[in-house]
């Protein structure tokens, strides 16, 4: 899939590969090829250093963006998957289990949990496009308990459009399931580390990012509502999503500036979907560093610091009329 604003880049890439084919082994077209490669680099820089918030949302949703499975396979070994909420069923929208970070990332055993958008159409449908049902949140809650029981850090990879607006999700109490996860993370006496790798939609995302550290890839987003929904409610026009995305301040950079997240993780030029390995390595470096840093922390100190972090968050969003 090619995003509208990526079209000039793709055209240049096609022309370059066409010339490479024509040139074969000869050097005759090298000058022209070099010229186009320079133009390509400039175009990438121009487009990708000026993405609007809504364009970033589109990059965050790109089907070729590296997903949970890619990070899991590249950054951990011996993933021991667990399933089910023990109450109703299994939910493929989120996956989790025990894993060990790769030796070069410190080799720590962890509980790894992530939204699984799936790599092909079949998997996407099975995982409801990364939108969990209540059994998904409750499964995640079980994994939080297991992590606490065995003293393992919780590592979360967030990539969800949000909670699911569906009849069954309501019948099975998704609000209750989300609030239980938030309560569990609030008091878990183990390190909680969260990365927003793509979409961070509303309560569905928050159930997996109330954490000691929240890192966001440069083109990921975290928002209380999808820009399209915000536009239809506030502007009564879903077509004004770009405006809503701007107003919501949902980009990684905005959230860092507002003190909501800890770190913006730079993506390769052209976005994570163009150079998946680069993006995964960047997340891996941060993951290894943060887990190592937190693994020695005293459990009670961790919980107290997490409490203070969220208790104070957004102090600047208020004025005290009594002061």
Partner 1 sequence: MDAVFTKCERCGQPIYEKDLGARFNVCPHCEFHYPLSAPARLRLLLDRGSFEERDSGLLAGDPLGFDGYEERLKKARRRTGLDDAVVSGVGDLGGRRVAIAVMDFRFIGGSMGSVVGEKVARTIEHAYAEELPLLIVSASGGARMFEGVYSLMQLAKTSVALSRYVEGSWPYISVLTDPTFGGVTASFATAADVVIAEPGARIGFAGARVIEQTTRERLPEGFQTAEFQRDHGMVDRIVHRLALRGDIERLLGFVA
- Contact between 316 and partner 1 by CB under 8 A: the answer reads yes
| Cβ at position 156, least distance to partner 1 in Å | 14
In whole angstroms, how close is the CB of 249 to partner 1 at the nearest point? Answer: 5
Q: Which one of residues 225, 242, 269, 297 is an interface residue with partner 1 (CB under 8 A)?
A: 225
Residues 6+ apart with CB under 8 A from 66: 197, 272, 273, 276, 279, 280
Q: Which stretch binds partner 1 (CB under 8 A): 45-53, 61-69, 174-182, 263-271?
A: 174-182
Q: In the numeric block, which tokens belong to residue 89?
A: 């069923």
Determine how many CB atoms are found less than 10 A away from the CB of residue 58. 20
Q: Binding mask 188-217 vs partner 1 (x if CB under 8 A, - otherwise)? A: --------------xx--x---x-------
Helix (H, G, I), strand (E, B) or coil at 56: helix
Q: How far is 46 from 95, CA to CA, in rounded Å?
A: 37
Note whether 171 binds partner 1 by CB under 8 A: yes
- By CB under 8 A, is residue 187 in contact with partner 1? yes
Task: Give the containing element (helix H, strand E) for 286.
Answer: helix 276-295
Helix ranges (DSSP H) in 61-120? 68-75
Interface with partner 1 by CB under 8 A: which range of 46-54, 140-148, 150-158, 222-230? 222-230
Which DSSP state fits 243?
Answer: H
Q: Does 148 bind partner 1 (CB under 8 A)?
A: no
Helix (H, G, I), strand (E, B) or coil at 180: helix
**Ramachandran assignment for 157, one of left (phi > 0), alpha (psi -120 to 50 degrees), beta (any other):** beta
Calculate helix-pair angle for 53-60, 241-248, nearest 10 degrees.
Answer: 100
Residue range at the interface with partner 1 (CB under 8 A); choices 5-13, 46-54, 114-122, 314-322: 314-322
Cα–Cα distance measured from residue 323 to residue 315, given in angstroms and rounded to the nearest whole number: 14
239 near partner 1 (CB under 8 A): no
Q: Is 2 or 233 the residue whose CB approaches partner 1 more closely?
A: 233
* Beta carbon nearer to partner 1, 1 or 317: 317
Confirm if 199 and 205 have CB atoms less than 8 A apart.
yes
Per the CB < 8 A criterion, the answer to whether 181 and 207 are in contact is yes
**How many residues touch partner 1 (CB under 8 A)?**
53
Stretch that binds partner 1, among 12-20, 91-99, 189-197, 247-255 (CB under 8 A): 247-255
Residues 16 to 55 in contact with partner 1, rule: CB under 8 A: none
242 binds partner 1 (CB under 8 A): no
Choose, by CB under 8 A, the member of 16, 101, 180, 252 that binds partner 1: 180
The DSSP letter of residue 237 is -
For partner 1, the binding residues (CB under 8 A) are 163-167, 169-176, 178-180, 182-183, 185-187, 202-203, 206, 210, 222-225, 229-230, 233-234, 247-250, 255, 258, 260, 306-307, 310-311, 313-314, 316-322
């Amino acid at each position: 899939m090619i995003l509208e604003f990526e079209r000039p880049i793709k055209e240049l890439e096609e022309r370059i590969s066409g010339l490479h084919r024509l040139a074969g082994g000869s050097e005759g077209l090298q000058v022209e090829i070099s010229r186009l490669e320079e133009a390509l680099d400039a175009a990438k820089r121009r487009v990708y250093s000026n993405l609007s918030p809504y364009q970033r949302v589109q990059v965050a949703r790109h089907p070729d963006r590296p997903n949970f499975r890619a990070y899991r396979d590249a950054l951990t070994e011996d993933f021991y998957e667990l399933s089910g909420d023990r109450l109703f069923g299994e939910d493929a929208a989120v996956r989790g289990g025990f894993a060990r970070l790769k030796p070069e990332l410190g080799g720590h055993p962890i509980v790894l949990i992530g939204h699984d958008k799936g790599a092909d159409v079949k998997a996407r449908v099975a995982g409801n496009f990364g939108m969990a049902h209540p059994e998904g949140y409750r499964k995640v809650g079980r994994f939080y308990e297991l992590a606490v029981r065995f003293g393992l850090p919780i590592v979360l990879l967030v990539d969800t459009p949000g909670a699911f607006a569906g009849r069954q999700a309501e019948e099975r109490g998704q609000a209750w399931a989300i609030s239980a996860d938030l309560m569990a993370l609030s008091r878990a006496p183990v390190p909680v580390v969260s990365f927003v790798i793509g979409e961070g939609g509303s309560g569905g995302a928050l159930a997996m990012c109330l954490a000691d550290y929240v890192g966001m890839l440069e083109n990921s987003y975290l928002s209380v509502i999808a820009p399209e929904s915000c536009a239809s409610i506030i502007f009564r026009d879903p077509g004004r999503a770009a405006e809503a995305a701007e107003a919501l301040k949902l980009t990684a950079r905005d959230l860092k500036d507002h003190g909501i997240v800890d770190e913006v993780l730079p993506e390769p030029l052209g976005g994570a979907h163009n150079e998946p390995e680069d993006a995964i390595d960047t997340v891996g470096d941060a993951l290894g560093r943060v887990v190592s840093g937190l693994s020695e922390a005293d459990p009670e100190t961790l919980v107290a610091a997490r409490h203070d972090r969220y208790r104070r968050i957004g102090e600047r969003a208020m004025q005290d009329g009594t002061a």
